Structure 1
């Protein structure tokens, strides 16, 4: 059997173009008659088994009211636990475009399993009052948990679930320590992670000190400080009636972000597409997201909002869903391990992780032949719903869960082998560290060069050199990104077209003689010299097939000014000198 090889390639960049985003979700399309009928059937069944309370305006201590829908079992014999979902997105119960109820399948499932299901908009979004704060309000989360535990139908145990923006708030709220917060299921949660270990991504804003472009376009669609608002104290029945006529969803002019993100200077990109410019306006207070584009990765304002940082205690049982081709997989795994190290012994033992081979929030879209980008991952399906409800049954109802009892602490998918594996720790028990070296005869530029990746250190150093043009940067092609639309698609893609460039250094190992599993962090160290005062270096790791296809596994980037630490003085480069730089782990 022909074996694969491992390949690294390296490129220097001056401006960060790691990710680009569309940021505007497509308007909901027209439903077929059959789909409309299914919506009605689900709604009718829900009404028959649940107490339905929509547009409950939950009061916060500052007087702001948050729009909340509550669904709970109608014939419950006692008090019930609640599963709470908070989101900046449109969860209106009525599909205004199609004139039918929204899809209530997830709600119906929860109610059938004996849970109250609570959906709430963040402040400043849709029917919720107040102004939106991109950094989030941890106190809103704490106060919501407190309000829910005091309801006459509540058993006092609250769990949370959700992916992406419906996950990012959970860790920050958990760190506040409300005794009623009993379980959290976070999925694709990188936007809620500020600083953890060597990672200072500050909620996906940075990677290795370089700005990730995805947030710029995302904010074009989500930062909406100016919007229609109902008068304070509008009766709930009027809000319900109004929500059947309009849902306050914005329909922004389409933007081709694959072009818009080339605009310079970067701080004027949103202004250039006539979007809301709050985060870039110097007059906007930092407490509500202002001056974000001008911040450094360790700027104090990052620590004033709802992001979770590793100096916070987190003592809530957790079920963590991650994916190899999602943004922030490195920080997410680092946070999972951090909680297992720092939580109380009991809670540390109550943390489970699932690492899937899919893109952002695509867990339940895996099939018998899961394709991520251009690469087949095989049958990557997993019984996620059974796992989630087994987790909630234990920690919200106090019931035994056979599924959870039989589940090791880490369930991970090994690509190439295309199978699920388990371990009680990450990296997997038994994993052995290995070191590979970059070597060449001084001509490693492009795939046609002589770069080699070897297990033995080279006898002599031969430097490789290339010329980088900041106006012709090497763009990301696939990878662990999210929210990129057609600008940059997440996943594994054949990188040979990128490797043809002369401004990329390529180092390839000999074919492995037998199957070799690579599981765990990869930490690249480079020795570099540049005539630029500052630049970014990136490293990408590829799996090379016997037929020559080379699929990306992961990549890392480091802005050189921060190479000595984000809490250290800026370290500029000097021409003619060689500098050691260790990139954040892949």
Structure 2
């Protein structure tokens, strides 16, 4: 009864909902146990039989104590010693209570079965840990007193306590985490404890303004941020095992409808948060890339990294594609003496840690990519540095190339044998690596395409009716958008040979507008041939002929075109240069396929609406939102294109 009571208190929602969830949980576990077919129940049973769970309050240098859950192998009595694996999280180490065990532990169950001391910790100010929470607390390079604390010092103090108070460890520690815990894994490697031998930031949050989660190139990612912060940013007056339920009173299954009715961003606080959500308020108070944002990225501090590092990410990560690429490059730029490995696979956010990785939506990858990563890359890498097992001889970059569906090994990223090429937009709607051949007479105006962007009728980010963002839009068929009059489409001829891109993708646009601000969304797309087989793993009725697979899509808020810290208005009618990072890709456009680029000025409600007037969008009123005509220029010195690195 004590165990049941503890679990009931931990479950979210009302008392009735908690009881219902508990009954469903018990019945499902019972059914799984009877059938003997659930790997989760088998893993759970293995953990209970082979691990002892302990809970401790670990003191930090300033006296704050952090709640820490420790799983220790039971066969330590035989004199065996194990390395320690640490995961620091703001998402709860639940379940709470030494009698209640997680269903799985470690980066994968391979670690639990191989033998590790596995540790989870609620970070400062979250759930059962003491102190005040700060989302991505600024790092303090030169600490002068015990009150100078950050995530690096909290990690150092945690590892120091573990190595002095937990028996039967071998003196070596590793860290890992996905998403926000990935950020905390990054910070374990900054001013690292000597016992830390390997760190694995996986989809690590790295910069909430430039490209992770909350903003991309200054454009606010509305849908995911609102839903996430409605829980994550809620106040927590005292340590508690309970989280705050996320907002659920949408009143409709259609996010497009909900966010349109909600109106300008300022209405979120006025109508829903009532000024009680501190992190939301921080977003609204820091519209530009100022010191607030700059202090919260770890990239400038990725110097003198001593542990080995394995950075992991997914090409279809809807939240943190930016983070792993910039974390890896940030370490690499400082020429680390320890190994620095990048692994990128065909996964959504955290997909390498769950599922088989055989497919996403209608797209097949031809292999169980997640299982391959867990068994052939992740476990051997950790075992080498923490258990002195043989060097797995992994490459510098282990990259899954979509399209061809092959794992590629490179001694650097991007690969050496790539050349930068430009996919030019042409006046006839074609796309090619050849610049527009236009005879420009003196004083003649360059060619352009024009469309009207109406904030009251924004382009949807997905064809689905859904209230939560999801991940499908990252690999969704883009035919739904290609037919809109406010979406420009440029398409190549069928390819006569494979074209493989490996490395950075960027948009280089020449634009003008009748407004004083505008967003530009650019999508790089693989168009399947008309006779492509109907082999969707989820929908046998899906017609794959002409399928438009999104390879990379990104948005740029044009007032930041010259500086993310000092926005500038567009001058109506003036040709402006807007160039922006679309992140990396590794994709093979197969022979017979076509390459497409779509350009639009809204991506709603994934991205908030731009009023198309030079205002502080976080404080804008409905009257500030106006239609605007945008031009994309196509010839001469104003030729727009998408830049890619082509493998040769």
Map 1:33-432; keep pairs closer than 5 Å.
33-35=30-32, 45-54=46-55, 56-76=56-76, 77=79, 79-93=81-95, 101-104=101-104, 106=106, 109-136=110-137, 137-138=150-151, 139-151=153-165, 153=167, 154-189=169-204, 191=205, 193-194=206-207, 201=210, 203-213=212-222, 214-226=224-236, 229=239, 247-252=241-246, 254-256=248-250, 258=255, 259-262=257-260, 263-269=262-268, 272-274=271-273, 277-279=276-278, 290-305=281-296, 307-313=297-303, 314-326=305-317, 327-344=319-336, 346-347=337-338, 350-367=339-356, 369-370=358-359, 372-381=360-369, 382-386=371-375, 387-401=377-391, 404-405=392-393, 407-432=394-419
CA distance in 1, matches of 2:529, 2:46: 54
Say if 1:330 and 1:45 are closer, same or farther in 2 by CA, change over 3 A.
closer
Secondary structure of residue in 1 paired with 2:121: strand
TM-score (normalizing by structure 2): 0.71
Q: Deviations over 1:305-362 (max 9, x none)?
A: 4x31235413331112111111342452233123123143x21xx1222211121111
Say if 1:114 and 1:368 are closer, same or farther in 2 by CA, change over 3 A.
closer
Shift of 1:188: 1.7
1:474 — aligned with what?
A: 459
| Aligned partners of 1:81 and 1:156 also within 8 Å | yes
Shift of 1:365: 4.2
Q: Deviations over 1:85-141 (max 9, x none)?
A: 111223323699xx9754145497545423211011122332222232222441322
Say if 1:295 and 1:228 are closer, same or farther in 2 by CA, change over 3 A.
closer
CA distance in 2, matches of 1:301, 1:58: 29
Tell me: higher relative CO, structure 1 or 2? Use CA pairs within 8 A at least 6 residues apart.
1
| Aligned partners of 2:453 and 2:486 also within 8 Å | yes
Secondary structure of residue in 2 paired with 1:353: strand
| Aligned partners of 1:414 and 1:420 also within 8 Å | yes
1:438 — aligned with what?
A: 425
Shift of 1:183: 0.8
Secondary structure of residue in 2 paired with 1:320: strand
Say if 1:249 and 1:205 are closer, same or farther in 2 by CA, change over 3 A.
closer
Q: Deviations over 1:32-58 (max 9, x none)?
A: 41435777875665455434313x111
Say if 1:226 and 1:69 are closer, same or farther in 2 by CA, change over 3 A.
closer
Structure 2: stretches of 5+ with no match in the other structure: 1-11, 138-149, 439-445, 531-545, 584-648
Secondary structure of residue in 2 paired with 1:524: strand
CA distance in 2, matches of 1:95, 1:493: 42
Shift of 1:181: 2.1
CA distance in 2, matches of 1:73, 1:365: 23
CA distance in 2, matches of 1:125, 1:119: 13
Structure 1: stretches of 5+ with no match in the other structure: 1-22, 231-246, 282-289, 441-449
2:500 — aligned with what?
A: 517
Would you identify which runs of 4 or more consecutive aligned residues in structure 1 move more than 6 Å?
37-41
| Aligned partners of 1:148 and 1:156 also within 8 Å | no
Say if 1:315 and 1:564 are closer, same or farther in 2 by CA, change over 3 A.
farther
Say if 1:422 and 1:267 are closer, same or farther in 2 by CA, change over 3 A.
farther
Say if 1:40 and 1:341 are closer, same or farther in 2 by CA, change over 3 A.
closer
Secondary structure of residue in 1 paired with 2:230: helix
Secondary structure of residue in 2 paired with 1:62: coil
| Aligned partners of 1:124 and 1:225 also within 8 Å | no
CA distance in 2, matches of 1:325, 1:359: 5
1:551 maps to 2:549: yes
